[in-house]
Amino acid sequence: MARELPEQDFQHVLQHTQSLWPRLAGSNILLTGSTGFVGSWLLQTFLRANRDLRLGARVFALTRHPQALSSADPSLEILVGDIKAFRFPSVPLHYVIHAAVEHGVTNLPGTQHVLEIARSHGAQKLLFTSSGAVYGEQPPDISNIPEDFVGTPQADNIYAQGKRESEQLLLDSGLNVVVARLFAFVGPKLPLDKNFAVGNFVRDALLSERIRVEGDGTPLRSYLYASDLVIWLWTLLLNFTLARVYNVGSDQPISILELAKTVERVCGAMGGISVAKAPVKGEPPKRYVPSIERARSELNLQPLVSLEDGIGRMFAWYRPYTSTK
């Protein structure tokens, strides 16, 4: 069963999306990737809003791990199956959120199946969570990469290639589609044991270990807090009117080494910081930082929770469930 999100995060999301929820009244929603980081935040905030605001909506949550979901809420219907072949009930479908992630394989077959279901069940809008990885390597002379940058994912990055192909398939489908290109995030439910620097650093702090920077610490990233992330995604789903692509993330860069120092300070870590490699003199740092001007100007979206506050909330959420030495 999924652990509840912090109450202050529920209130933060509801406060900044309150005018949107009535649009979901009486609707049926398909959510893929419902047990992942993004999907679980979307699912829990929907269930809370649906209950508190009495929307009378239903969510059909697709997962291969039904034990990770609680079936106690009558508005939640769990679909168990593979993204490429699952069956959807014979009921009208109003909204689709395609947030499934399949690392190591292309997303395209799954996206094709989701598109077929959206069409056959009359979906009005579809939100697809893509990735900033579709831009490929960010040029050093572009501080914040915009949506109209024509980049190319690295040939060996199957994940990014699949996201790019899925984007094109959906945008060419004729359906009312919005694409959210996700960057980096911080917050409860972010895995501590995957390839996410902030998750690894918070894990080290929780275990009272040395915070380990695996590279040279120079790459630049930016981090949006998870409750802001779902505010953006619900806004994109319910407020967009034309097929469009939006970057979703923070536009404030921070180096990986400075991120480690911030985690150390915020979490009160005492084990110190180690950096595996020395920077190469004269080499510009690699960047992965979006421009969010389109979301800001068109939908009035912006980061609301600071990085320091976000790290602190993540640390506090995980702390009761982490064994220290």
Each residue of 122-144: pLDDT tens digit? 999 999 999 999 999 999 999 99
196-228 exposure pattern, b = at least 16 Cβ within 10 A, e = fewer: bbbbbbbbbbbeebebbbeebbbbbbbbbbbbb
In contact, 105 and 158? CB cutoff 8 Å: yes
Give a yes or no: residue 295 inside a domain.
yes
- Look at the chain and report how many structural domains it folds into: 1
pLDDT of residue 159: 87
Give a yes or no: residue 214 inside a domain.
no
Residues of the chain with pLDDT under 50: 324-325
pLDDT of residue 321: 78
pLDDT of residue 154: 75
Nearest Cα to Cα of residue 22 among 43, 52, 53, 58 = 53
Give a yes or no: residue 131 inside a domain.
yes
pLDDT of residue 3: 83
For the chain, what is the mean pLDDT?
93
Give a yes or no: residue 137 inside a domain.
yes
Burial class (CB in 10 A: 0-12, 13-18, 19+), 77: middle
Give a yes or no: residue 202 inside a domain.
no
Round to whole Å and give the CA distance between 208 and 48.
34
pLDDT of residue 52: 96
Give a yes or no: residue 46 inside a domain.
yes
Residue numbers of the domain that contains 102:
7-190+223-251+289-305
Nearest Cα to Cα of residue 185 among 139, 249, 127, 230 = 249
Model-level pTM greater than 0.75? yes
Round to whole Å and give the CA distance between 234 and 97.
10
CATH at residue 118: 3.40.50.720
Give a yes or no: residue 170 inside a domain.
yes
Give a yes or no: residue 310 inside a domain.
no
Burial class (CB in 10 A: 0-12, 13-18, 19+), 66: middle
pLDDT of residue 323: 59
